[in-house]
Amino acid sequence: MIKVAVVGSKGRMGQAAAEAVRQAPDLQLVAAIDLGVPPTAVAEAGAEVIIDFTTPDAVMRTLRSCIGSGIHCVVGTTGFTPERLEQVRGWCAQSPSVGVLIAPNFSIGAVLMMRLAAKAAPYFESVEIVEEHHPAKIDAPSGTATLTAQLIEKARAGMQPMPDATSQEVPGARGVVVHGVHVHSVRARGLVAHQEVILGGPGETLRIRHDSLDRESFMPGVLLGVREVGKHPGLAVGLSTYLDLSGYEDLSGSRGQD
Ligand code: NAP
């Protein structure tokens, strides 16, 4: 039995993660941590692995405390900047046996959507990303969109700039440019988490779309992370590290990334 604590257990994702842990025969939920409970409560509960679905600031405090206490971390919270990832890498260097997985998207379909988009990107002149989420989402663009853009940028290295004659009289009309790719963020009631990558070439378009219709779509990936994280010391960014996606390049500087 792996002893697991869920941080942010009253949130939308935290509730789903806690339930998934309760249902898993090989996992034991030893703590459900929420605002006002000190991060040290995780160690006191005897947790071996934490799952964190909180906020960009809260997760940094939790990571620092857990990594320092030798507790493996599976993080779904988004909004990590390159500087914050570097900080986590530094903490991991001081606790070399600890595994940390930071995955902006735990849906296996979304991981494949990102990989397929990056694979297709060099064959098209134009690539843009439309991400769509529920209106309670705090960050924009989504972590998934940012990571997809990074993968596409890497895949298109050395190519001509994308054609675009539009003048931006209204700022933001063309979305934001992330890693050289236009990203458009939609926030609307009823949505969960969706993304479409639109690729365009002469006389054709290819649309690669993924829809998370329910938060349970993230749970197989979360549980995979919990079971695997202890076997992968150091920081891994993206779930693909734990999937058999060999043949794809490592972009994270540590291991696989999406
Ligand atoms: P949410 O419903 O707002 O849940 C966040 C929870 O964290 C809330 O219950 C909040 O408590 C709690 N919290 C805040 N600070 C805390 C602290 N210091 N210690 C413990 N708990 C704290 O948000 P959500 O929709 O579940 O999303 C959470 C994160 O997961 C977001 O970053 C989101 O982008 C990300 N996400 C990731 C994936 C993925 O596959 N990786 C999928 C979906 C969402 P209060 O409500 O009391 O403030």
User: Has residue 39 been placed in a domain?
Assistant: yes
Does one domain contain both 26 and 88?
A: yes
Does one domain contain both 147 and 230?
A: no
User: Has residue 143 been placed in a domain?
Assistant: yes
Q: What is the CATH number of the domain that holds 6?
A: 3.40.50.720
* Residue span of the structural domain in which 90 resides: 2-102+215-242
Q: Alpha-carbon distance 207 to 68, whole Å?
A: 44
pLDDT tens-digit map of 41-61: 899 999 999 999 999 989 999
Does 182 qualify as catalytic in the annotation?
A: no
Query: How far does residue 125's CA lie from ligand 1's centre (Å)?
Result: 37
Query: How far does residue 72's CA lie from ligand 1's centre (Å)?
Result: 19
Please check the confidence at residue 241 and state whether its pLDDT lies above 90.
no
User: Has residue 61 been placed in a domain?
Assistant: yes
Catalytic choice (3, 119, 134, 137): 137
Domain boundary among 191, 212, 233: 212
Mean pLDDT of the chain: 92
User: Has residue 71 been placed in a domain?
Assistant: yes
Does one domain contain both 86 and 154?
A: no
CA distances from 140 to 2, 86, 128, 143 (A): 34, 21, 15, 8
Query: How far does residue 90's CA lie from ligand 1's centre (Å)?
Result: 24
Catalytic choice (72, 133, 182, 232): 133
Q: What is the CATH number of the domain that holds 156?
A: 3.30.360.10
The percentage of the chain sitting over the pLDDT mark of 70, rounded to a whole number, equals: 94
Supply the pLDDT for residue 243: 82
Please check the confidence at residue 71 and state whether its pLDDT lies above 50.
yes
Q: What DSSP state is assigned to residue 75?
A: E
Per-residue confidence band for 37, with pLDDT thresholds at 50, 70 and 90: confident
The residue whose CA is least distant from atom 35 of ligand 1 is 77
Whether the CB-CB separation of 7 and 47 falls below 8 Å is answered with no
Does one domain contain both 10 and 81?
A: yes
Q: Alpha-carbon distance 250 to 258, whole Å?
A: 10
The total of structural domains in the chain comes to 2
Supply the pLDDT for residue 36: 84
Does one domain contain both 98 and 113?
A: no
Supply the pLDDT for residue 244: 66
- Of 19, 55, 194, the one to substitute when testing ligand 1's pocket (max ligand atoms within 8 A of C-beta) is 55
Whether the CB-CB separation of 147 and 110 falls below 8 Å is answered with no
pLDDT tens-digit map of 184-231: 999 999 999 999 999 999 999 999 999 999 989 999 999 999 999 999
User: Has residue 189 been placed in a domain?
Assistant: yes
pTM: 0.84
Give the number of other CB atoms < 10 A from CB of residue 145. 28
Please check the confidence at residue 247 and state whether its pLDDT lies above 50.
no
User: Has residue 186 been placed in a domain?
Assistant: yes
Supply the pLDDT for residue 40: 84
Q: Alpha-carbon distance 183 to 194, whole Å?
A: 13
Please check the confidence at residue 249 and state whether its pLDDT lies above 60.
no
Which of residues 15 and 39 earns the better pLDDT score? 15
Query: How far does residue 210's CA lie from ligand 1's centre (Å)?
Result: 22
Does one domain contain both 123 and 165?
A: yes
Q: Alpha-carbon distance 193 to 189, whole Å?
A: 11
Per-residue confidence band for 76, with pLDDT thresholds at 50, 70 and 90: very high
Supply the pLDDT for residue 252: 47
Does 10 qualify as catalytic in the annotation?
A: no
User: Has residue 31 been placed in a domain?
Assistant: yes
Does one domain contain both 144 and 232?
A: no
pLDDT tens-digit map of 120-169: 999 999 999 999 999 999 889 999 999 999 999 999 999 999 999 998 78
Does one domain contain both 145 and 205?
A: yes
Supply the pLDDT for residue 194: 97
- Of 12, 106, 139, 144, the one to substitute when testing ligand 1's pocket (max ligand atoms within 8 A of C-beta) is 12
Please check the confidence at residue 255 and state whether its pLDDT lies above 80.
no
Q: Specify the pairing of strand 126-133 against strand 193-201.
A: antiparallel
| Amino acid present at 16 | A
Does one domain contain both 76 and 55?
A: yes
Residue 75, Cα to own-chain centre: how many angstroms?
A: 8
Does one domain contain both 117 and 188?
A: yes
Does one domain contain both 201 and 112?
A: yes
Determine which helix (DSSP H) or strand (DSSP E) holds 205, and give its type and residue range.
Answer: strand 204-212
Supply the pLDDT for residue 245: 60
- Three-class SS of residue 233? coil
